[in-house]
Structure 1
Amino acid sequence: MTIKKILVVDDSPTERHVMKTLLTGSGYEVITAESGEEAIAKAKSELPDLVLMDIVMPGLNGYQATRTLSRDQVTRNIPIIVCTTKGQETDRIWGLRQGAHDYLVKPVNGQELLAKIAA
């Protein structure tokens, strides 16, 4: 599957900007959401090829949003990569159990992220 459109989910305007700059500079179309609720709505309406999901957000957190997207008939085939400050092994395992395909700890290395997207 070729990745063209990426949904970046993060409550931090700075993180969204950094990710968007990196990804658009690499030729990807980027849409953003600042909450779990908005991420679910945009994933259903925009059907991105990939979701980059933060965990720590007000309201619906990234674990809950990941679980919802991975179990929904419309969005279950969209891969999700968690990008978070939560770096414990138990956090990583929990993220993958919620349906994430990969797990990166912030600050995310841009080249590592682009390599994971390309893979």
Structure 2
Amino acid sequence: MNWNDITHTMQPVITYAVEALIGALALYVLQAVGRVLPKVKAAYEARTTASQREALHKIALEAFAFAETTWKDTGGPSKLSAAMGYVSKRLREVGIAITPEEIEAAVHHAWLTFNPDKKDPK
């Protein structure tokens, strides 16, 4: 028996072993991805939420300034309504969906930021 006969005889065994090894490696990689993917998704969602919150607060500050300058001769409820309308419109434009309560809280936060000595924004 010469070397060519041995390699010809062993070729199917070697091919089968390599395919089994590749299959096992692929299974390991898929399991690793399956374990890491939920963590990556949670981190992405947390970051998205954080960036949305940051955008909300920046827009609320803009809305507060808008309401204070545009509605300076009217009372608090009118200003609050105008500011909330501004925030709602801007958030829709950038594709962020937030509840009216969260918008109102952000506007109140903006009000308190500019009026730290006052307690009730209404």
TM-score normalized by structure 2? 0.24
TM-score normalized by structure 1? 0.24
1 or 2, which has the higher helix percentage?
A: 2
Q: Report which of the two structures shows the higher radius of gyration computed on alpha carbons.
A: 2
